Amino acid sequence: MQHWQFGNKPVIGLTGGIGSGKSTVAAELGKLGCGVIDAGAFSRQAMGDGQILQQVQSHWGDAVFDEMGHLDRKALGALVFSSPDELKILENMIHPYVHRQRQAMRQRYMADQTVIAIVEDCPLLFEAGLDSEVDVTIFVAADEEIRRQRVLSTRGWSTEELTRRQKNQLKLDIKANCADYVVNNNGGEKDCFDQVRHVLSDILQSPDPKSQIST
């Protein structure tokens, strides 16, 4: 019988570079029976929380709100992603909210016998030290040009915007070296999903997997 660190099933930390296709991998893991916890979605939800908005207003003032009093996410992003110190302030504001939501969902998935594994989908998994809260980690990799084209088509970001946001994260080669598994997403979905199924199968068969997939 396998013994996992946090309960009766493995907790998988999933991360990757911007535009790597991490969300696609998370969705596939969900289809394979995993319960997916999307930290990024909780971070976005946090920006609608009244108490957090009050903190944002107190620190950055009206500059990050529109004429109707609604949060201007683009203006806030321009401020925080150009300053590591300002970004840290925002992260400290939203962290308690995100942590509560993550823990509540993790408990639900742990109690759900139909869920075969829990996936913590977190862009800043290693930066935030959340790798210590999972059993095993997966890094989704893709070449820079492929990632640039993806964020241009799906998010409308310029190369400069991608570079600016990446500066606030660990270098991708460091993340890849820290991960227990690497899924390369330079090709089509079939190749990517084949790797995902192989990785998940390997994790479920071993409580301490340390091999890597690299193609």
- The answer on 153 and 61 residing in a single domain is no
The parent domain of residue 156 ranges over 12-33+116-215
- The confidence band for 207, taking pLDDT boundaries of 50, 70 and 90, is low
For residue 110, what are the contacts with CB-CB under 8 A and spacing of at least 6?
A: 6, 7, 8, 9, 118
Residue 182 one-letter amino acid: V
We report the CATH number of the domain holding residue 212 as 3.40.50.300
- The answer on 131 and 145 residing in a single domain is yes
For residue 215, what are the contacts with CB-CB under 8 A and spacing of at least 6?
A: 184, 191, 195
- The answer on 18 and 54 residing in a single domain is no
- The answer on 212 and 129 residing in a single domain is yes
- The answer on 74 and 158 residing in a single domain is no
- The answer on 207 and 132 residing in a single domain is yes
pLDDT of residue 126: 94
- The confidence band for 211, taking pLDDT boundaries of 50, 70 and 90, is very low
152-200: per-residue pLDDT in tens? Answer: 877 777 777 777 777 778 899 999 999 999 999 998 899 999 999 999 9
